[in-house]
Amino acid sequence: MWTAPNGTIEMATRRLPWTGALAATAILSFTAALRPAETAADAPGVANPETVVLEPGSFIHPLAGEFLKAGMPVPAPRVKTAISRPLEIMKYEVSASDYALCVKAGACRPAEGAATGDMPVVGVSHLDAETYADWYSRGTGESWRLPTDEEWGFAAAEDFTTDIESGDTNAANPALRGLARYRAEAALGRRPDPKPRPRGSFGTNSKGLADLKGNVWEWTSSCYVRATVDELGRIENRIDNCGVRVVEGFHRTYMSDFIREGKSGACAVGTPPDNLGFRLVREKPGFLRKFLRLG
C-alpha cells in the first residue's frame, strides 16, 4: 500500500515477489506430496461451473474493517485497488446439489439450510466453504478458492454496497452512531427474506455475475481488520482477526468463521444476513505450478 502523488491511497492485490513465489511453490509441492492423490473420479458429478472472466483493472474500494482515529470510529479509507491479473469467478453461487456431492463424499458437513437442486447452498460457515473449495480443487485437479473482499467488490461493480456507516458528526456518542446506522440501513429498503430463491432470481450485473444483491450473503477469504489511521487517513497500525471474515451481500458485514446461520449472531453491523453461501474463484496456475504439475 502506498500514497500516490494525488493523495489517493493505492493498493495492489495478490502480488508476490519472486522469492515469495518460489517459497509458496515449495510449500505447495510439499503439502501435495503429503495428501492422497485425488482426481475427478474421486468426486463423481463434479462439472465445470459457469464462470465469468474479468480483465485486470482498478477501482476505488472502501477498506473492510473497523478504523479508529484518536480512539474514535471513522469511515473506512477509500483506496485505489488494482486487480492485476484476469479474475475468473463463478457466475452463480455454489448450488445445493453441488455442495451435496461433497457431503456424499464425506468431505463436507451437511448444510443447515433448506435449499435444494440448483438453488444456492445456504446454512454454511466460512470453514464449510473452505472445505468445499479444497475438496472441489482436489476433485477437479484445479485450484478453486474464495474471493478476497477486493476481488468480490471488483466483480460486484454497481452491486457492491459497503459497510453501513453512521456518518454522524459526534463520533464520541455511541447513541448517535447507533441511530445514524439504523437510519442508513433503513434507507436501503431491505426486508427480511429468509427463503432461498432459485439462481438468477436477482438478475445479472454489468460484469455478468448473477444474484449479487440477492438474499444469499457470500463468504470471502478476507479477515476482519481493526486499524488506526493518521490525520491523512493512512493506516498506522492494524490487527487482523481471521476468526472473523468479511461477508458480502446487501451490504458488507462480518461474521465469525464458524457461524452457519446469520440470525445466530456474531454480526458486526446491521441486521443479520438472511442466508450464508459462497461462490468461488478459479486460480490460474503459474509457470512453476504447471512445471511441477500442481495446478
Query: How many Å apart are CA 139 and CA 145, to the nearest integer?
Result: 13
The pLDDT value given to residue 44: 55
Here the cell at position 153 is 467488490
Domain that holds residue 182: 2-291
3-state secondary structure string across 188-235: CCCCCCCCCCCCCCCCECCCCCECCCCCEEEEEEEEEEEEEECCCCCE
- Largest separation between any pair of C-alpha atoms in the chain: 60
Top-confidence residue, 263 or 31: 263
Query: How many Å apart are CA 288 and CA 4, to the nearest integer?
Result: 33
Query: How many Å apart are CA 95 and CA 194, to the nearest integer?
Result: 17
Other beta carbons within 10 Å of 150: 24
Write the CATH number for 196. Answer: 3.90.1580
**pLDDT exceeds 80 at position 101:** yes
pLDDT averaged over the chain?
A: 77
Instruction: Give the pLDDT confidence of 272-288 residue by residue, as tens digits.
Output: 778 999 999 999 765 43
Q: Give the chain's domain count.
A: 1
**pLDDT exceeds 70 at position 271:** no
**pLDDT exceeds 60 at position 240:** yes
Instruction: Give the pLDDT confidence of 106-136 residue by residue, as tens digits.
Output: 999 999 988 889 999 999 999 999 999 999 9
Query: How many Å apart are CA 182 and CA 176, to the nearest integer?
Result: 10
The pLDDT value given to residue 266: 52
Average pLDDT rounded to a whole number, residues 92-105: 95
Query: How many Å apart are CA 46 and CA 107, to the nearest integer?
Result: 14
- Residue 83 CA: distances (Å) to CA of 59, 184, 185, 240, 247: 9, 30, 29, 21, 19
Average pLDDT rounded to a whole number, residues 14-27: 40
The pLDDT value given to residue 54: 96
